[in-house]
Amino acid sequence: MPRVTEAHRDARRAQIRAAALRAFTAKGYQRASISDVVAESGLSAGAIYGHYEGKRALFAAVAEEVLSRRGTELEAAARDGVPPSPVEVLTLLMGGMTRDIQDNRVIVQLWAESTVDDMIHDVVQEVVSAIQGVLHGALRAWYATRPDLCAGDPDAAAELLLPVMLGLAQGYLVQRAMLDDFDPDRYLRSAAAVLPR
Amino acid sequence: MPRVTEAHRDARRAQIRAAALRAFTAKGYQRASISDVVAESGLSAGAIYGHYEGKRALFAAVAEEVLSRRGTELEAAARDGVPPSPVEVLTLLMGGMTRDIQDNRVIVQLWAESTVDDMIHDVVQEVVSAIQGVLHGALRAWYATRPDLCAGDPDAAAELLLPVMLGLAQGYLVQRAMLDDFDPDRYLRSAAAVLPR
DNA sequence: GTCTATACGGAGATAGAC
DNA sequence: GTCTATCTCCGTATAGAC
């Protein structure tokens, strides 16, 4: 299999995903039509359908790409250097989201879609599980440096903190997407006040 | 204006809202059609449109009803009896949600819709603001009984905790709607480990 | 692989009788 | 106020040429 062709194919697919993300971000996933993606990509409907089965598959692919990056980033940060504290982990995750997509309304739309579309559900399920795994590892590493806080059992401490860490991240994203007067710094100060440090 | 007629009108509107909630819950807001609401209500399309402008207005009305109840419940709990602790407040709110709607997928769908539909946005915005107000009051009342935890300033302490309390509630709802293996008790234990008590 | 043009289906909303 | 029947729009997806 000629690798040039393969690379070209992947590049085109990436181009389509990028266009889809722009369209979904601008209009919202439900309201964005395939025509919007077409317009955004500079290609045609036929071209899109040649690479993705349809709008749902496109959303799944984009979601996989964006969410996976959070796991990758966190893993990298946890690997080299001092283990980040819970608040630093939260800040890192939220900063990454903001970097990838302007506002994060589309993330909330993704969650909603995952409650009703099986294809989306499966992708989100898988990637979020992966993120939880990485998150667990990061927290465990940090607790290991703070034996005073975990009674010598970093693993159990990380396990206990995990749902709240995920929940605080989700709360941040919901509020940022939904509330007119959301204040990111205030939210992080609030989180810092309750999280171990 | 004859009050019997007025009462009948309100009853019918409540009947329609209840039918809409069932339809939205069963199929998801986007996928539920007006026909579904019609079928669920036992009425006709014409009857529905005689009382509500359309699907969006219906969702807004249902959302207003369900969310407002959270504020009312919390206010009642905070008023009579011992001020509930943060974890108790969280448990109360989540219990109320579960009572009103089986799973809470439709809540996440509501948030998503609020990021893209102005009518929904305005309603959610208003009701969530009200809930935050009540929440603030409840937390302040609790802190007032625990001066050791707030350095004598219950108001500031409540203000600081507010975003996290809201975020933890939202995280609970997202995870419950989205994750196959969500464990409510585990989430609450996790929250109890970080929240002041 | 990609384009243009179009078929198909479904959903929200309305008309008009009762 | 409510019903039946229907209209109209719009979005997804495909057909067929290049």
CA dist B40 and B26 (Å) reads 10
**A9 and A71 belong to one structural domain:** no
Least Cα separation, residue B179 to chain A (angstroms): 7
Least Cα separation, residue A9 to chain B (angstroms): 33
Which one-letter amino acid corresponds to residue A196?
P
**A96 and A144 belong to one structural domain:** yes
What's A181-193 look like in SS3?
Answer: CCCHHHHHHHHHH
**B46 and B67 belong to one structural domain:** no
- Spacing of A35 CA from D10 C1' in Å: 11
Residue in B10, B16, B20, B168 with CA at minimum distance from that of residue B92? B168
pTM reported for the whole predicted model: 0.97
**Residue A150 near residue A156 (C-beta atoms within 8 A):** yes
What Å distances lie between residue A113 and A59, A118, A132, A141, A179, CA to CA? 10, 9, 20, 34, 20
Q: Which two tokens stand for residue B108?
A: 């996440």
What's chain A look like in SS3?
Answer: CCHHHHHHHHHHHHHHHHHHHHHHHHHCCCCCCHHHHHHHHCCCHHHHHHHCCCHHHHHHHHHHHHHHHHHHHHHHHHHCCCCCCHHHHHHHHHHHHHHHCCCCHHHHHHHHHHCCCHHHHHHHHHHHHHHHHHHHHHHHHHHHCCHHHHCCCHHHHHHHHHHHHHHHHHHHHHHHHHCCCCCHHHHHHHHHHHCCC
CA dist B45 and B54 (Å) reads 10
**A75 and A12 belong to one structural domain:** no
**B30 and B82 belong to one structural domain:** no
- Spacing of A28 CA from C1 C1' in Å: 29
The region, left, alpha or beta by phi > 0 then psi within -120 to 50, assigned to residue A182 is beta
**A186 and A97 belong to one structural domain:** yes
* C-alpha A164, offset from chain centre: 17
CATH code, domain with A7? 1.10.10
Question: How many contacts, defined by CB atoms under 8 Å, are there between A and B?
Answer: 146
**Domain ranges, residue B117:** 58-194
Task: Please tell me the predicted confidence (pLDDT) of residue A3.
Answer: 53
Task: Please tell me the predicted confidence (pLDDT) of residue B122.
Answer: 98
In chain B, which residues touch A (CB < 8 A)?
27-28, 30-31, 105, 108-109, 111-116, 121, 124-125, 128, 160-164, 166-172, 174-175, 177-180, 183, 186-187, 189-191, 193-196
**B74 and B35 belong to one structural domain:** no
CB contact under 8 A, A170 and B167: yes
Task: Please tell me the predicted confidence (pLDDT) of residue A85.
Answer: 98
**Residue A116 near residue B30 (C-beta atoms within 8 A):** yes
User: Closest nucleotide (CA of B32 to C1')?
Assistant: C11
Which one-letter amino acid corresponds to residue B109?
Q
- How does DSSP classify residue B53? S
What Å distances lie between residue A62 and A4, A51, A99, A160, CA to CA? 24, 13, 15, 31
Number of domain units in chain A: 2
CATH code, domain with B90? 1.10.357
The region, left, alpha or beta by phi > 0 then psi within -120 to 50, assigned to residue A81 is left
Which residue among B52, B72, B91 closes a domain?
A: B52
**A48 and A65 belong to one structural domain:** no
**B46 and B140 belong to one structural domain:** no
**A133 and A45 belong to one structural domain:** no
pLDDT by residue for chain B (197 residues), tens digit each? 455 688 999 999 999 999 999 999 999 999 999 999 999 999 999 999 999 999 999 999 999 999 999 999 999 999 989 999 999 999 999 999 999 999 999 999 999 999 999 999 999 999 999 999 999 999 999 999 999 999 999 999 999 999 999 999 999 999 999 999 999 999 999 999 999 99
pLDDT along chain A (197 residues), means of 10: 76 98 98 98 98 98 98 95 97 97 96 98 98 98 97 97 98 98 98 98
Least Cα separation, residue A196 to chain B (angstroms): 8
**A114 and A32 belong to one structural domain:** no
CB contact under 8 A, B125 and A179: yes
**A142 and A66 belong to one structural domain:** yes
CA dist A29 and A31 (Å) reads 6
**Residue B139 near residue B165 (C-beta atoms within 8 A):** yes
Exposure string (b/e) for A71-102, b if CB count within 10 Å is 16 or more?
bebbbebbeeeebbbbbbbbbbbbebbeebbe
Q: What is the CA radius of gyration of chain A?
A: 19
Nearest CA in chain B to A175: B167
- Spacing of A48 CA from C3 C1' in Å: 11
CA dist A117 and B31 (Å) reads 10
B37-91 confidence digits (pLDDT tens)? 999 999 999 999 999 999 999 999 999 999 999 999 999 999 989 999 999 999 9
Task: Please tell me the predicted confidence (pLDDT) of residue B4.
Answer: 62
Task: Please tell me the predicted confidence (pLDDT) of residue B6.
Answer: 86
